[in-house]
Copies of this chain bind each other. A is one copy, B any other.
Amino acid sequence: MRRLNVSLAERSYPILVGAGLLSRPELIQPVLPTARVALVSNTTVAPLYLDVLAKGLEKVGVDVTPIILPDGEVYKNSESLNLIYDALLASRCDRGTTIIALGGGVIGDLAGFAAATYQRGVPFVQIPTTLLSQVDSSVGGKTGINHPRGKNMVGAFWQPKLVLADTDTLQTLPDRELSSGMAEVIKYGLIRDLPFLKWLEVSMEGLLSRNGELLAHAIERSCANKAEVVAADELETAREGGRALLNLGHTFGHAIETGIGYGEWLHGEAVAAGTVMAVELSRRLGWLSVADVERVRTLLQSAGLPVAAPNLGADRYLELMSHDKKVVAGNLRLVLLRVLAQAVTYADAPREEIVAAIESCCNG
């Protein structure tokens, strides 16, 4: 088992990565203030993993209230949140109850936001079961739900007490979702870790064949990179750089997700195509070479990810991007690459270059 620490003063917490962690309740028990948990999962994950976790916890004397939600990004909304509140209140969960999220990013975001807001905040434990959630949402404390007008428009920062990333759960993950998570893994290399980027280029085949040791290494490196960024800028208040750098490809990517409707593309797929746009724009600004862009495109493709975006029209892209939370007082601030493995936030890209980058990366 690998162990790393996310350093956030009194909100610091450990991430444990390895095989077979779901059946080790003794890892969870020490962080519970009372012997009471609400276990939030979905209809896909619960049949696979809820029993082993719940039975283990019950065996050590913990009372478990399961809360099972429908599966999918379309359910990351206020209705699902209310289902959680209703279940917590119906079973009289109090402020000492710990909410455990067992599932992917949607479950983590929903359960985390419920933990942040139920009775003004209860303890939270994350057990992410997808690669994407293990490398992305398990670090940083972002929780929230979508609004019809945009992704993650309602939410809170709420740090977990513990994250368990059990690599065994990746064995049942559909190929498309494994690739989707790989988009975020690759992102860490691209924004700040050249050795990791090189390691990914030579290890992608083994990762996609789900070698447990390779996956554990990729998760650990990803979380360590994210933890360093988050520790320096917990609430995303840095004016330049900081947490915003984690959004490489995301402003374009969110526009793709919103523009074609949530759920058509997976998050990582949209981020992959968005990353190509950001990299292409970086080239147009004179920061990357044609070879750099090709190298990024090749790595994303080798991970089974799309490198061309749906053709919504550049105007529609710009309109959707202007809704992004990263837009402060009207200024479109993008994450771009000065060189490979060195990301920056940049608000001065000329509109015509943004349009050209979008158009050159769209299908058809």
A144 touching B156, Cβ below 8 Å = no
A85 touching B154, Cβ below 8 Å = yes
Q: Which of A149-184 contact B (CB under 8 A)?
A: 149-150, 152-157
The reply to whether the CB of A59 lies closer than 8 angstroms to some CB of chain B is no
Asked, given contacts A325-B119, A328-B94, whether A156 binds B156 with beta carbons under 8 Å apart, the answer is: yes
A327–B121 Cα distance when bound, in Å, is 15
Cross-interface CB contact of A155 among B78, B94, B119, cutoff 8 Å: B119
CB A94 to nearest CB in B, in angstroms, measures 6
B117 touching A328, Cβ below 8 Å = no
A115–B84 Cα distance when bound, in Å, is 22
Cross-interface CB contact of A235 among B121, B150, B325, B329, cutoff 8 Å: B121
The reply to whether the CB of A96 lies closer than 8 angstroms to some CB of chain B is yes
A144–B118 Cα distance when bound, in Å, is 10
B144 touching A96, Cβ below 8 Å = no
B121 touching A89, Cβ below 8 Å = no
In the complex, 8 of the A-B residue pairs with CB atoms within 8 angstroms, ordered by the A residue number, are: A78-B82, A85-B147, A94-B328, A95-B328, A116-B156, A117-B117, A119-B152, A119-B153
Q: A95-B328, A120-B155 are in contact. List 18 more A-B contacts (CB 8 A).
A: A34-B329, A36-B329, A78-B78, A85-B154, A89-B147, A89-B149, A94-B327, A94-B329, A94-B330, A95-B325, A113-B117, A116-B156, A117-B154, A117-B155, A120-B144, A120-B152, A120-B236, A156-B156
